[in-house]
Structure 1
Amino acid sequence: MFEDIPVDVSPMYEGERIRAANMFCELAGPKSIGAELVQVAEDVEDGSVLVVGPNIDEMTEGERYPFGILAEIKGEKLEKELEGVIERKMHELCNYVNGFMHLNQRDQIWCRVSKEARDKGFKLEHLGEAVAALYKEEFPIIEAISIRIFTDEAEVESFLERARAQYEERDARARELTDEDVDVFYGCVMCQSFAPTHVCVVTPDRTALCGAINWFDCRAAAKMDPDGPIFEIEKGEVLDEIKGEYANVNAAVADRSQGTFDRVYLHSVFGYPHTSCGCFEAVAFYIPELDGIGIVDRDFKGETPLGIPFSAMAGQCSGGKQVEGFAGLSLEYMRSPKFLQADGGYERIIWLPKEIKDSLTDFIPADLVDKIPTEEDASSIKEIRRFLREHEHPIIQRLKEARKERREERKALEEAEAPEEVPTEMEETPVAYAPELTIPASGGVKIILKNAKVYAEKVIIKKK
């Protein structure tokens, strides 16, 4: 099938990573532009592959170039609803090509070509030929497919505009439905090749973490291939409507994560947050000093208020992990009325990159838009705190109430007299309180706990 392609094509190369030292050139990525798009069309010249712009042998080693890839498909059983699901497979199929690395999705793609592939004579038309053949093998309902690859900057800019219009059309349609309107959710395990315990739960109000697959896409995919990576989850018993916990979702996650996780909250970063793959568009992260939540997306180039960039934060929770206080999510989910509703929604958001905030103006409550700082307003915890106070963000009242509650608890503890008789066992009893508690650690480091309360499951008192 791939005799005319100078590099190997096989699923065994799917996990290949091309590091900078072995990279010939970079396509799209965070310092350039790019997109991928699959569209059902009537007039498709089967097998046609066209490269518009510089090819690999015309590129300069170490440089980066804009990149777009368009697949037009035709088939009697193909539906427009399938475009997003078939498009999401682009990531996997491109990575079958030895010496070509593909990351992310939609207009977030990031690709690299290795020096070894260039030396073997690999060109972009070979990528197109491989992808076309793999698509027809993966989806027999595709009767004809043509591939166009763009590296000319003007062409990529035009293609990017077209692709984003299609993404918005898909997303807008999905917003018309809510979780209460359906009896079935969907699970997706397409990312388990690199995040083996990740199970993405897709509902009308919660788009897949990658942002590329919504509930309608999943419905079409599950109908087309009931035994495929996208499967039905009967909504069933609602355990907690606000947190978004469902008995059948828990069971599906336990089954598909090989028993690693058995509880998931769809609308919270606390307790049992949704697992995170690595393809997520953004990360929600807890800022304990202010009891608020920040959001950072993969396009943000600076450091977050926690002092680390997106890449480091993504490393905290990717790979299929469930990490309390961190959750990968799609930007489309931030347009949902159920967005982190268990945590307070936008009333709990205290920092956003300006680009995200500007794109969400119509979805953030009007009275909160000017109260949420961006990197242009604040970058440190201290600066954020000042901004929140000056703009009377709801989190300030939350902090005041929490401080008042702590003062009352402290006063009650200080005023409490020691009982004459102490039970031999006390469950979850506070046995120590200290305004400041110093714990020595190795390497000359001291850990200082302020306003610390120490709890013990049991207290046993023995006479000597």
Structure 2
Amino acid sequence: MFSDIPVDVSPMHEGERIRAANMFVELAGPKSIGAELVQVDESVKDGEYKVIGPELSDMTKGEIYPFCIKIDIKGEKLEKELEGVIERRTHDLCNYVQGFMHLNQRDQIWCRVSTEAIDSGFKLVDLAKALGILFKEEFPIIESISVTILTKKEDVEEFVNKAREIYSARDERARELSDEDVDVFYGCLMCQSFAPTHMCVVTPDRTALCGAINWFDCRASAKMDPDGSIFEIEKGEVLDDVKGEYKNVNEIIAQKTQGETDRVFLHSVFEYPHTSCGCFEAVAFYIPELDGIGIVDRDFSGETPLGIPFSSMAGQCSGGKQVEGFTGLSLEYMRSPKFLQADGAYERIVWLPSEIKESLKEFIPKEIFDKIPTNEEATTISDIKTFLKEKNHPVLERIENTNDGEEGIEATGEIAMEAEPTNQEFVPVASASEMSVPTSGGVKIIFKNAKIYAEKVIIKKK
């Protein structure tokens, strides 16, 4: 089946990582542009595989090139609403090809080719052939398929713009429904090869973390293949409609994650946030000094106010981990009326990259839009504090109300706690149902149901 392809093609190669030391070239990614798009097209010429632009043999080792994957399909039972689901499988099927690494989705793809693959004679047209065969195997309803690889800068730019228009139309359609309108949500396990303890919960108000699959896509996929990686979840009993907690969803998550996660809030970064895979478009992160939430996306190359870039932050919460104060999300979810509603929604957002903020202008409430700083106004927590105060951001009132409601903490026993006086108007917040802090000398401090407000805490042993 793959006899004319010089490298092995098998699911066993999923999860392969090509590091810089073993890389021949990088395709698309954060330092270039690229996209992937699947479309139903009745004029498809079956088995047409081609590369428009430089082939790997024309590329220079160590360089970065623009890159697009254009897939056209035809079949009697194919529907337009299946395009997004089939397109999302590009990620998995590309990774079947030994020596080819594919990350992310849509116009965020990031690919690499290994030096070993080049030494074996691998070409991009081989990738196109492999995808054509694999897609037909994966989706028998595909009767004809053509795959075109684009590497010429001008063609890639034109294709990316076209693809973004199509992505936008798909997303806009999904906004027609809300969670209350349906009895069924969907679970997606597509990323479990990279994040074995992760299951994505997709609802009308919460698209998949990757941003590539919405509720309509899931419905079409589950109908086509009820035993596939996307499946129905009866919504069942609502435990908390604000936080987005459902009894049956919790039970299914526990089952599909080998018991690693058994409780999830769909609309909060606190207590039990949704687990994160690795393909998420952005990360929401708690900034305790401000009692606010920041958002950083994959395209942002600078450092967040926490002093680390997106890549470092993503590493902390990806792989199926549930980390309070952090959660991966799609940019489309930020357009949802339920966006982090349990946490205060946009009234709790205190920092965004400027490009994201501008793209959400129609969805951020007008009264708060100018009060949210971006990387252009603030790069440090101190900068953000100044900006929030100047603009009278709603989070100020939240902090004031929280402080007014606290009676303070009295230290007892062998441990004394002293808070040094300060004129600082913003204070760090630590909150936990139980928090254990080990120290030297056999002493351990345990805080239960505590909220601590202090600029500095000095621990002294009597």
* TM > 0.5 fold call: yes
SS in 1 for 2:167: helix
- Identity rate, percent: 71
SS in 2 for 1:8: coil
Structure 1: distance between partners of 2:408 and 2:31: 52
Structure 2: distance between partners of 1:84 and 1:173: 12
Q: What amino acid does structure 2 have at the position aligned with 1:435?
A: E
Structure 1: distance between partners of 2:66 and 2:312: 25
Q: Provide the alpha-carbon RMSD of the alignment.
A: 2.1
- Match of 2:418? 435
Q: What amino acid does structure 2 have at the position aligned with 1:196?
A: P
Instruction: Please state how far the C-alpha of 1:401 moved relative to its aligned partner.
Output: 1.6
Instruction: Please state how far the C-alpha of 1:435 moved relative to its aligned partner.
Output: 3.4
Structure 2: distance between partners of 1:431 and 1:38: 66
Instruction: Please state how far the C-alpha of 1:440 moved relative to its aligned partner.
Output: 9.1
Instruction: Please state how far the C-alpha of 1:119 moved relative to its aligned partner.
Output: 1.5
Alignment of 1:358-397 (within 5 A): 358-397=358-397
The change in CA–CA distance for 1:431 and 1:401 in structure 2 (over 3 A counts) is farther
SS in 2 for 1:314: helix
Structure 1: distance between partners of 2:367 and 2:57: 55
Q: Does 1:18 align with 2:18?
A: yes
- Match of 2:292? 292
**Alignment check: 8 A CA contact 1:23 1:115 kept:** yes
Instruction: Please state how far the C-alpha of 1:355 moved relative to its aligned partner.
Output: 0.7
Q: What amino acid does structure 1 have at the position aligned with 2:214?
A: N
SS in 2 for 1:273: coil
Structure 2: distance between partners of 1:321 and 1:441: 27
Instruction: Please state how far the C-alpha of 1:233 moved relative to its aligned partner.
Output: 0.5
Alignment of 1:447-458 (within 5 A): 450=454
- Match of 1:64? 64
Structure 2: distance between partners of 1:433 and 1:389: 33
SS in 2 for 1:46: coil
Structure 1: distance between partners of 2:199 and 2:44: 35
SS in 1 for 2:367: coil
Alignment of 1:63-462 (within 5 A): 63-406=63-406, 409-410=407-408, 434-436=417-419, 450=454
Structure 1 residue ranges without an equivalent (≥5): 415-428, 454-464
TM-score by length of 2: 0.90
Q: What amino acid does structure 2 have at the position aligned with 1:239?
A: L
Paired positions, count: 432
Structure 1: distance between partners of 2:122 and 2:261: 42
- Match of 2:47? 47
Q: Deviations over 1:131-178 (max 9, x none)?
A: 000000010000000011100000000000111011001000001110
Q: Deviations over 1:247-283 (max 9, x none)?
A: 1100110110111111100000001000100000000
Q: What amino acid does structure 1 have at the position aligned with 2:113?
A: V
Structure 1: distance between partners of 2:62 and 2:250: 46
Q: What amino acid does structure 2 have at the position aligned with 1:402?
A: T
Instruction: Please state how far the C-alpha of 1:434 moved relative to its aligned partner.
Output: 3.3
Q: What amino acid does structure 1 have at the position aligned with 2:369?
A: V
Structure 1: distance between partners of 2:404 and 2:211: 41
Instruction: Please state how far the C-alpha of 1:121 moved relative to its aligned partner.
Output: 1.3
Structure 2 residue ranges without an equivalent (≥5): 421-436, 446-451, 458-462
Q: What amino acid does structure 1 have at the position aligned with 2:206?
A: R
Structure 1: distance between partners of 2:399 and 2:257: 37
The change in CA–CA distance for 1:256 and 1:430 in structure 2 (over 3 A counts) is farther
SS in 1 for 2:89: helix
SS in 2 for 1:328: strand
**Alignment check: 8 A CA contact 1:433 1:451 kept:** no
Q: What amino acid does structure 2 have at the position aligned with 1:48?
A: E
The change in CA–CA distance for 1:450 and 1:144 in structure 2 (over 3 A counts) is same
- Match of 2:7? 7
Structure 2: distance between partners of 1:141 and 1:346: 43
SS in 2 for 1:368: helix
Structure 2: distance between partners of 1:4 and 1:434: 71
Instruction: Please state how far the C-alpha of 1:431 moved relative to its aligned partner.
Output: 10
Q: What amino acid does structure 1 have at the position aligned with 2:352?
A: L
Structure 1: distance between partners of 2:174 and 2:316: 30
Structure 2: distance between partners of 1:270 and 1:78: 41
- Match of 2:460? none
**Alignment check: 8 A CA contact 1:209 1:329 kept:** yes
Q: Deviations over 1:176-230 (max 9, x none)?
A: 1100110100000110011001010000000000000000000000000000000
Instruction: Please state how far the C-alpha of 1:294 moved relative to its aligned partner.
Output: 0.2
- Match of 2:430? none
